[in-house]
């Protein structure tokens, strides 16, 4: 599916989430170049469970899957943009949404030029508020390479607890990577935001 010419990517059927400095909105076709650049950056992808992208069609394929999963309520993938500037600086996703179980996983990535500014924390707060208040989820999980200390610290600041370590879970470009599993319950989130 070529999203550049597919009007489904133009549908903004995701709820718009607004923060102090950021907006989270649905993806549009004019985001494809920046979305590809985000996932093609080796620094951004260093600790992910798949290697940096090398082909633009990977961005198109990912967004096509996200749109299909959105219609099944299995994945919600937001473009992270500046509040006053509509340029893509990152993405955040609720995925593996299991409404009957009241759980989902969260993922996020920011272009490296936007690291260490608090944007990831602001974006995750917006998504967590939405997940717990609107979707009525009970639990959100994060799978993080334990060597990615800034990401581990980020979710811990948000109240996530490290619940376990899955050794050699991923094999990315010939390198085995562990996964630290973090969890945050709705009641824990509410107790810190009330």
Sign of torsion, CA 111 174 95 70?
Answer: positive
**69 phi and psi angles, rounded to 5 deg:** -70, -30
What's the rounded mean pLDDT across residues 68-96? 88
Under the banding of pLDDT at 50, 70 and 90, the label for residue 2 is very low
Q: How far apart are CA 92 and CA 100, in angstroms?
A: 22
Task: Provide the pLDDT for residue 3.
Answer: 31
Tell me the percentage of the chain whose pLDDT exceeds 90: 55
Domain boundaries, the chain: 17-191
Provide the CATH topology of domain 17-191: Aminopeptidase (3.40.630)
pLDDT value, residue 79: 93
């Amino acid at each position: 599916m070529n999203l550049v010419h597919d009007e489904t990517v133009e549908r903004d059927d995701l709820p718009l989430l607004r923060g102090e400095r950021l907006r989270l909105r649905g993806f549009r076709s004019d985001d494809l170049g920046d979305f590809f650049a985000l996932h093609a950056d080796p620094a951004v992808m260093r600790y992910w469970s798949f290697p940096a992208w090398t082909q633009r069609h990977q961005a198109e394929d990912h967004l096509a899957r996200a749109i299909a999963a959105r219609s099944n309520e299995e994945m919600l993938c937001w473009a992270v943009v500046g509040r006053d500037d509509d340029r893509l600086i990152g993405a955040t996703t609720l995925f593996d949404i299991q409404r009957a179980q009241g759980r989902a996983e969260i993922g996020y990535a920011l272009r490296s030029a936007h690291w260490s500014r608090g944007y990831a924390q602001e974006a995750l707060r917006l998504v967590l508020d939405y997940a717990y208040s609107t979707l009525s989820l009970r639990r959100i999980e994060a799978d993080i390479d334990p060597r990615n200390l800034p990401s581990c610290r980020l979710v811990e600041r948000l109240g996530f607890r490290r619940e376990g370590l899955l050794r050699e879970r991923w094999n990315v470009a010939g390198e085995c990577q562990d996964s630290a599993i973090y969890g945050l319950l709705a009641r824990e989130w509410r107790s810190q935001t009330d």
